[in-house]
Structure 1
Amino acid sequence: MPAKPPTLILNAFEMACAGHICHGLWSHPRDETHRFGELAYWEEVARTLEEGMFDGIFFADGLGVYDVYRGDYEIALREGIQVPRLDPMLIVPTMAHATRHLGFGITSSVTYEPPYLFARRMSTLDQLTGGRVGWNVVTGYLDSAAKGVGLGAQPGHDDRYDRADDYMDAVYGLWEGSWDDGAVRLDRAGRTYVDPARVRRVVHDGPFHRVDAPHLCAPTPQRTPVLYQAGASDRGRRFAARHAECVFVMGPNRAVVAGIVHDLRRAVEEEGRDPYAVRVLAGLNIVVGATDAEARDRLAEYRLHASPEAGLAHFSATVGIDFSAYALDEPIRYAPNEGGRSALEAFTRRGGGKVWTVRELLDAMPLGSRVHTFVGSPEAVADELQAWRSEANVDGLNLIRTVAPESFRDFARLVVPVLQERGLVGARRAEGTLQRKLFGEADVLPASHYGSRFRGDGGRGRPD
């Protein structure tokens, strides 16, 4: 049975762009994210993380531009708010070739690409990386993305998750149900490369997606990539409880995140899974120095380059509220919409009844983001991570970059040795696939996972 991992899972949180979450810091003279279009840059990042005992790098991604704030995308362009942005899938093979152990989480939306095409792309990455890939399943939340692919607007929030459930059934059928292990014979004498009797056509006729074909790829090391999810809305939590193996959570403090994690683990248990069958990773900013004073000086230096307004524009698009329409001290009203509902609920409903103003939001974004930031010495950071592990019941860290790759190097150089001394980070690497590294069991989905019921039946494993 799954159990809480004995050590912290360390993930780096990235995006194939200059401005990711801590907005404005691309302008810092030591920041190197302007090199995000160079393969050599990503090789260097990968080696830094691997040598620093990180378990993986997680690439956020999405379609569309942020055009809710002021009703246009001018500030998104000027401030580099996740634009320009590259497709991270094309970067991963280079990073995998430069490393041996590092895992790779890739974000891709189920809303705008047919499952048959996507299944092949992920199988290709799983094969080329030796089973070190995961997929962050997202449904999207930007109308600009829908317009970019020719739609007038995105589907409704809950409707997107209904489509996602159907999408998952289709890709499970392709990954798990189409090819038997050993179908590839490579029998030169008998002139049989693949045994036709061991390959099945997947027939999926769902409410939103249809497939009627065998998968194009033979079984890869993991078959189904490790499944990540980040939705914390009621509907997103139900989706995660069925499908996710890793969930990313964010919140202003440990108490808020503890509530999110409690609800998630309860939902996982109600789905018939062990509550620790899902690894929960907390998204955190960490500014570390050799001493507390040095860390505070580093924060002050970073703040000179950060852009709280860019953070506000990003947050506007995330929750679907144009904050430019509010006066600085006007209370921000809860306004349900079809955008990122989990972020909206965390902002308006999980804050203990607090009513925010735009001024307070800007004050809460000293590094261009509302993400929790901890500042301190290596020992203080280690204390904080231990507190998050015990009090918020998280299994690891999704380290958000500030100045890059400096923030990853500082964490690896200063914090990881302290975590190793405390037994919270191992001294040696686990071998094998990302699935095995995270759960220590097999290379494929466990029998308790919903997706395993599609195994070996041509994808007809959907429940009634």
Structure 2
Amino acid sequence: MSREIRLNAFEMNCVGHQSPGLWAHPRDRAWQYKDLEYWTELAKLLERGRFDGIFIADVIGIYDVLNGNGEAAIRQSTQVPVNDPLALITPMALVTEHLGFGLTASLSFEHPYPFARRLSTLDHLTKGRIGWNIVTSYLDSGARNLGQKALSDHDARYDYADEYLEVLYKLFEGSWEDGAVLRDRERRIFSDPSKIHEIRHHGKHFQVPGIHLCEPSPQRTPVLYQAGASNRGKQFAAEHAECVFVAAPSKTILKKTVADIRRRVAEAGRDPRKVLIFNLQTVILGETDAAAQAKWRDYKQYTSYEGALALISGWTGIDFGQYRPDQVLKHIHTNAIQSAVEAFSSADPSKQWTVQELADWVGIGGFGPLIVGSPQTVADELQSWVEETDVDGFNLAYAVTHETFVDVVELLVPELQKRGVYKTEYAPGTLREKLFGDGPRLPASHPGAAYRDLGRLHGPLAAAALA
């Protein structure tokens, strides 16, 4: 029997996310990103389609590598303007019951102590439907605006992230014991100080002596997402992540990536089947293949070459403005370009990729692959990706919003359900329970679980239990 396919909606609190220029399409609603109704309507739509969650991207900073400035990104609304993603979650949770929320927040720009409170608050308000996409950021412009000369070295950011997670695990898992909250009206005692512990963290980057400010939320630690594609990033994911987001442009690359991640997870002492891997994907659907192709041609009229180059330049750190559109990529000698060429040429080694062709690829859906067709055609293709690469599901980017997601819910989901590869009802419980079928908390094999014995290590906040 074929495996269940999992779907997340890939969104961002901005106008132009992964399809630069499509904001100008007459049916696109991205300009309404400032309105609560945009988000609450989307949340209800996704829950009707039994999506596992909405994965909300974010950046701090602007894409200013192209031509050495941010003018192209600003002109084309390439992920700027961009609003804070955290504020979206509470209203979306209010109109849904099951939909999960993957919040992107950079640990490079957030101190772990107040950030832990924000996450616990959201987990309380959503009744345990929060996930955190752990990112270390990649735009120097963001670092400069926070008083840093530039982002620190890539691998050093992950060393910093390791300690950041240690602080959060201590706060989430170890500070408040189970049973610390009494709510005893008769004795007028709300919490038992003997079961609440200072974490006494003294590290290289952080000094956090006190207790977590929040009582334990339904999941304690939110579901942990990670999107690093580098060797160090994949190692970090193997140790910490429960869901991994990748953006492989071909089945060949994705198969290797998935196998590498699962191998690393097993070496870290965790169950590789308990880590879900999602690939970035975009689908354009019509009632028939011909109708879908016509829709794709309509969308193509609005793609932005300049906007695509702004994205690619920001992602790779290479200024593509210095190259002609017809310049062949393999003749551009930089490490970043070579890795991109290797990834894109894997599906067709004989193909000569030009700058224009790379921009055309990114123009709808970013680096992820695009599938165009009827529900039957798209379902066939998604099933083949799962079966041939061992991926668990897809983060679906939109071309035109909400139209892309309406088409998925009304056309694709029924076809997948008919084939028995997509859920017809949500599982009960928290996001972690829905995704993995286990309990609401981190499993014992996860490194975060090791911090549950802070009381034994440090002693209680109060010397004696309450009488």
TM-score by length of 1: 0.94
Contact kept, 8 Å, 1:18 with 1:26, in 2: the verdict is: yes
Does the residue aligned with 1:227 lie in a helix, a strand or coil? strand
Aligned to 1:418: 415
- 43, 46, 54: which one pairs with 1:46? 43
- Over 3 Å counting, the alpha-carbon distance change for 1:368 and 1:201 in structure 2 is closer
User: Match for 1:274: what amino acid?
Assistant: D
Aligned to 1:212: 209
- Over 3 Å counting, the alpha-carbon distance change for 1:310 and 1:458 in structure 2 is farther
Q: How many Å separate the matches in 1 of 2:38 and 2:220?
A: 30
- 428, 433, 437: which one pairs with 2:434? 437
Contact kept, 8 Å, 1:261 with 1:394, in 2: the verdict is: yes
- 106, 115, 119: which one pairs with 1:118? 115
Q: How many Å separate the matches in 2 of 1:364 and 1:241?
A: 30
Aligned to 2:340: 347
- Over 3 Å counting, the alpha-carbon distance change for 1:297 and 1:460 in structure 2 is farther
Matched, 1:190 2:198: no
Aligned to 2:446: 449
Q: How many Å separate the matches in 1 of 2:456 and 2:49?
A: 40
Contact kept, 8 Å, 1:170 with 1:459, in 2: the verdict is: no
Matched, 1:154 2:147: no
Deviation for aligned residue 1:172: 0.5
- Over 3 Å counting, the alpha-carbon distance change for 1:368 and 1:429 in structure 2 is closer
- Residues 380-400 of structure 1, C-alpha deviation per residue, up to 9 Å, x if partnerless? 111011001111111111110
Bigger mean CA deviation after superposition, 365-374 or 382-391: 365-374
User: Match for 2:253: what amino acid?
Assistant: V
User: Match for 1:335: what amino acid?
Assistant: T
After TM superposition, the structure 1 = structure 2 runs for residues 89-104 of structure 1, keeping only pairs within 5 Å, are: 89-104=86-101
Deviation for aligned residue 1:54: 1.0
Bigger mean CA deviation after superposition, 362-371 or 35-44: 362-371
- 283, 287, 291: which one pairs with 2:288? 291
- Over 3 Å counting, the alpha-carbon distance change for 1:346 and 1:261 in structure 2 is farther
After TM superposition, the structure 1 = structure 2 runs for residues 7-26 of structure 1, keeping only pairs within 5 Å, are: 7-26=4-23
- Over 3 Å counting, the alpha-carbon distance change for 1:291 and 1:355 in structure 2 is closer
Aligned to 2:166: 169
Q: How many Å separate the matches in 2 of 1:438 and 1:180?
A: 25
Aligned to 1:178: 175
Contact kept, 8 Å, 2:21 with 2:304, in 1: the verdict is: yes
User: Match for 2:96: what amino acid?
Assistant: T
Contact kept, 8 Å, 1:289 with 1:378, in 2: the verdict is: yes
Deviation for aligned residue 1:334: 5.1
- Residues 369-423 of structure 1, C-alpha deviation per residue, up to 9 Å, x if partnerless? 3321000000011101100111111111111011000100100000101100111
Deviation for aligned residue 1:202: 0.7
Aligned to 1:269: 266
Aligned to 2:230: 233
Aligned to 1:319: 316
Q: How many Å separate the matches in 2 of 1:426 and 1:137?
A: 27
- Residues 95-139 of structure 1, C-alpha deviation per residue, up to 9 Å, x if partnerless? 000000000000011111111011110000000000001000000
Matched, 1:140 2:133: no
Aligned to 2:71: 74
Does the residue aligned with 2:277 lie in a helix, a strand or coil? strand
Aligned to 1:335: 334
Contact kept, 8 Å, 2:20 with 2:363, in 1: the verdict is: no
Bigger mean CA deviation after superposition, 412-421 or 302-311: 302-311
Contact kept, 8 Å, 2:279 with 2:368, in 1: the verdict is: no
Q: How many Å separate the matches in 1 of 2:285 and 2:272?
A: 32
After TM superposition, the structure 1 = structure 2 runs for residues 369-408 of structure 1, keeping only pairs within 5 Å, are: 369-408=366-405
Q: How many Å separate the matches in 1 of 2:49 and 2:204?
A: 46
Aligned to 2:27: 30
Does the residue aligned with 1:7 lie in a helix, a strand or coil? coil
User: Match for 1:433: what amino acid?
Assistant: T
Q: How many Å separate the matches in 2 of 1:5 and 1:278?
A: 18
Bigger mean CA deviation after superposition, 22-31 or 344-353: 344-353
Q: Structure 1, unaligned stretches of length 5 or more?
A: none
Aligned to 1:260: 257
Deviation for aligned residue 1:368: 6.8
